[in-house]
Chains A and B, each alone.
Chain A
């Protein structure tokens, strides 16, 4: 068990460019979550998957954001036409998906800076 991994760890891009982040969850985990954290705040929920199905999306996830989890394994988060306000740490977490004892394990995050 290598834990949750995320790639890349850091991304610097220019405003208007598209970026894509990848998350590999713990292998037996059914649920995969994306969060965003800005300076001085706690992580904020963006979206989550149960296997390959995307079950909920936050209002924070504008139309420029899209997430996928093909085959219920790794997930990608794409941001199109990036804006400076997208600069943040993007965190991925996974869990077994057991109601009542839902402990999520986080990856190291991808830090995005939009210039």
Chain B
């Protein structure tokens, strides 16, 4: 079963506009959420994270929103730049217990930012 889902396989955005990437999860034990960016032939690069005790976290152009009741998170990139073009993965894990740190990933969303 797919516990973390990214329902949009791709997203195309104009440079300077906002990119919004969405992610849904089903496991209520997930307490910590992360976004990674991945270029071809490279490993995922950590972007931003959020704990379930918060509903928003910002880092520069990147903001992650968490709606625990809806089991939904989103990543906002403002303004989008051509260098942001990559595959974006959301990931989730329990924050405690024996399985903390074991990440469950979504399938990824390919973001293309056009100049």
Residues of A with Cβ closer than 8 Å to B?
A: 4, 6, 31, 33, 35, 40-45, 48, 55-56, 91, 93, 95, 97, 99-109, 111
B43-69 residues at the A interface, CB under 8 angstroms: 43-46, 49, 51
Q: Which of B42, B43, B89 contacts A42 (CB 8 A)?
A: B89
**Alpha-carbon separation in the docked complex, A110 to B75 (Å):** 28
Task: Indicate whether A99 sits within 8 Å of B96 (C-beta atoms), given known contacts A104-B46, A105-B46.
Answer: yes
Please determine whether B100 and A99 come into contact, CB atoms closer than 8 angstroms. yes
Query: CB-CB contacts of B89-115 with A at 8 A, as 1s and 0s?
Result: 101010110111111111110000000
Please determine whether A100 and B43 come into contact, CB atoms closer than 8 angstroms. no
Residues of chain A within 8 A of B105, CB atoms compared: 42-44
Q: How many A-B residue pairs have CB under 8 A?
A: 76
Residues of B with Cβ closer than 8 Å to A?
A: 4, 31-32, 34, 36, 41-46, 49, 51, 89, 91, 93, 95-96, 98-108
Q: Which of B51, B99, B103 contacts A43 (CB 8 A)?
A: B103
Residues of chain A within 8 A of B104, CB atoms compared: 45
Task: Indicate whether A100 sits within 8 Å of B99 (C-beta atoms), given known contacts A42-B105, A106-B45, A107-B43.
Answer: no
Q: Which of A100, A104, A111 contacts B103 (CB 8 A)?
A: A104
Residues of chain A within 8 A of B103, CB atoms compared: 33, 35, 43, 45, 104
Please determine whether A33 and B44 come into contact, CB atoms closer than 8 angstroms. no
Task: Indicate whether A48 sits within 8 Å of B34 (C-beta atoms), given known contacts A41-B107, A102-B95.
Answer: no
